Structure 1
């Protein structure tokens, strides 16, 4: 591989081509992370290098995320379906460059916020993985029951270990456990709303594009939404019925002042006791459940295959016991709560970062004041 195609941690890259309708990433910068992966770039991704020491690379990366820069790049873009820019158009953007020391202080404030956001993302990844692993061990692989049957040592706390049978039945499930359909575990909420009739009301909008863009709902006014949406009730877990080979499972934010709505491509399930939102999240995220969904798709187009909600509700989704469902919630529920808290903190951090970025770049706010706001 030619060395010029290999990227190093800390390199700043910029997108030269964008396939999205709004050209959301055209000209946008990103910094190559320190990772075990090997990152390469091609001709439609530019690498930013500095001519001299008058600029700080991290400052330039942040500059390339400001609205002024983005508007100029988009305004000069070519192409109708696929948007393109060029090094010349990017380099033609002019701006006021503060002294290097000030550049470094500005980028340090913004990067500190980004680091907190990334830390929350990684923590939530770990929490989700732990919840999925526990679910698979208890309800799919029947790990504790198999360990008991084989005379192996306990690997759970005694109060949890005692909940598992010590043998498997003829159906290969732990003795005494029962099969539960999805309808046994949850109610599908189907009430819809026409947001367009609400005028300027702002909704938390759980859409497929928002999920795919990072898992934060969009904040949209009703008159900007052109079709009916599902009203999201408290405690619901959202499961996409579209293209189930792509896992899209969403636990909405805790209820606030805004009403929550979801694309009708999402099915909103509210748990029935003793099942819980944590149990539904882990079930929907499990590979075995997703494979079951993949076997139920209708539609010939690969990109528009869907699940029939009535058929999904009738699926035998889980084998277990009420006491174990309750124990799973006691164990995993705090993880889910922490995940939601991390997401709420991340939303605040993103809002703070995006508010400080133009003010720091324009000199409207001093670094010292920004540091206090970011603390």
Structure 2
């Protein structure tokens, strides 16, 4: 079967099956679970389909031993091997091995031949994921077969052009990955400082013990009290307040947006839990813009899904309409980092409350926001924290928006490059229409 790009490719490009484009196509295996020693003290990374995330894989959830490899159909695959999920809900998901690894039998391992660029083949498969998923069969569980994959026909330009196309797309993806990894680090830094100051009260404890708070100058340390007082939460820094979570921020519930059908002109994408989880509104339902401005979501807004899958995120997926089951969290008194990190602090407890409800879709109620308590430091401490944490949050938003821009650029270029509608010069930066 020819995939779409093969039909539209320039005449100078060669159409080949994936089987012809690969040196080897194989599947993996699962060492016997009856032999716990196969999974104890192992050194061989072993990939499962849930770990395929359309990126380069450097680490795995489980390691297996050399003996497990020898005792099963699992094989050690070279770095650069492309993995394609063949079974279940993950059909069509991809990964590239960043170092030698093994995989389970639900993965199809593609080792490109010498005249096939790995990244070019990877992006061809990525661009045709929906078609690959459409080929999957099975009643209880959708699956692809190795034979189906081998017979698929794709267009291949000369190797140099394959490399140029693959390199350009990989550069974009690597930059996106770096921005997201940077944000994960910045988020961890912000949460660690917040927890140290406002949850664990480390500077106060240090002063009580006659120590200088770690990593803190004398002027900042002087802002913290040197003792505690009793509160409804137990011991809190002297002079600090304990307040309900919903008293430091406004939690605006979204609308039943089916009551605001799209007009066909200047409509807004509907931001539901699914959009919050994936971070963008691509393919979302539309609603009329004739809603109150408070219900329009902008980049940088804090969103909290209080029903179903409970998540708290800083939204960077573009303007949209706030759907029911989502809170937009704002405050006229406190900075974004304060109410964002306090809401995240209580998220695990909120999830436990939702999971305990005997309903098809667990949720929390506004009373749970009131029951969740926050500790509010002095104005001087808040100002000092703001000088550190607000720039971190701003940087996270900026990086996320850059990643979204690059993702859009990649998704725009991808189908045109792999079909030959756009041609690259030898210099990977030059594009010819």
Task: Tell me, yes or no, if the aligned pair for 1:191 and 1:231 is still in contact at 8 Å.
Answer: yes
Q: Which residue of 47, 66, 76 maps to 2:135? A: 76
Q: Which residue of 123, 128, 142 maps to 2:182? A: 123
CA separation in 1, counterparts of 2:363 and 2:101?
35
Task: Tell me, yes or no, if the aligned pair for 1:5 and 1:42 is still in contact at 8 Å.
Answer: no
Q: Which residue of 186, 195, 212 maps to 2:277? A: 212
Equivalent positions of 1:62-211 (< 5 A) are 62-66=123-127, 69-80=128-139, 82-154=141-213, 155-170=215-230, 171-190=234-253, 192=255, 194=257, 197-200=261-264, 201-211=266-276
Structure 1 pair 43/142, CA: closer, same or farther in 2 (3 Å)? same
Structure 1 pair 291/76, CA: closer, same or farther in 2 (3 Å)? closer
Q: Which residue of 297, 301, 306 maps to 1:241? A: 306
Q: How many residues matched?
A: 347
Task: Tell me, yes or no, if the aligned pair for 1:15 and 1:29 is still in contact at 8 Å.
Answer: yes
For 1:143-178, what per-residue CA distance to the aligned partner results, in whole angstroms no more than 9, with x for missing partners? 111111111124313443222111122342111111
> What is the Cα deviation at residue 5 of structure 1?
4.4
> What is the Cα deviation at residue 124 of structure 1?
0.2
Q: Which runs of no fewer than 5 residues in structure 1 stay unpaired?
A: 20-24, 225-229
* Secondary structure of the corresponding residue to residue 220 of structure 1: coil
Q: Which residue of 337, 357, 362 maps to 2:414? A: 357
> What is the Cα deviation at residue 192 of structure 1?
1.9
> What is the Cα deviation at residue 202 of structure 1?
4.2
Structure 1 pair 71/128, CA: closer, same or farther in 2 (3 Å)? closer
CA separation in 2, counterparts of 1:109 and 1:253?
25
Deviates more, 1:100-109 or 1:187-196: 187-196
Q: Which residue of 316, 330, 347 maps to 1:270? A: 330
Are 2:104 and 1:42 aligned?
A: yes
* Secondary structure of the corresponding residue to residue 321 of structure 2: strand
Q: Which runs of no fewer than 5 residues in structure 2 stay unpaired?
A: 1-67, 289-293
Q: TM-score, normalised by structure 2?
A: 0.72
CA separation in 1, counterparts of 2:396 and 2:314?
10
> What is the Cα deviation at residue 8 of structure 1?
5.0
Structure 1 pair 223/141, CA: closer, same or farther in 2 (3 Å)? closer
Task: Tell me, yes or no, if the aligned pair for 1:72 and 1:93 is still in contact at 8 Å.
Answer: no
Are 2:394 and 1:329 aligned?
A: no
Counterpart of 1:22? none
Counterpart of 1:371? 429
> What is the Cα deviation at residue 211 of structure 1?
3.6
Counterpart of 1:11? 81
Task: Tell me, yes or no, if the aligned pair for 1:27 and 1:90 is still in contact at 8 Å.
Answer: no
Structure with more of its chain in strand, by fraction = 2
CA separation in 1, counterparts of 2:348 and 2:376?
17
> What is the Cα deviation at residue 6 of structure 1?
4.6
Equivalent positions of 1:292-331 (< 5 A) are 292-294=349-351, 296-297=353-354, 298-300=356-358, 304-331=361-388
For 1:119-160, what per-residue CA distance to the aligned partner results, in whole angstroms no more than 9, with x for missing partners? 001100011001100110001110111111111124313443
> What is the Cα deviation at residue 96 of structure 1?
2.1
**Greater Cα radius of gyration, structure 1 or 2:** 2
Structure 1 pair 103/182, CA: closer, same or farther in 2 (3 Å)? same
Structure 1 pair 32/118, CA: closer, same or farther in 2 (3 Å)? same
CA separation in 2, counterparts of 1:272 and 1:194?
26
Task: Tell me, yes or no, if the aligned pair for 1:184 and 1:272 is still in contact at 8 Å.
Answer: no
Task: Tell me, yes or no, if the aligned pair for 2:303 and 2:327 is still in contact at 8 Å.
Answer: yes
> What is the Cα deviation at residue 83 of structure 1?
2.2
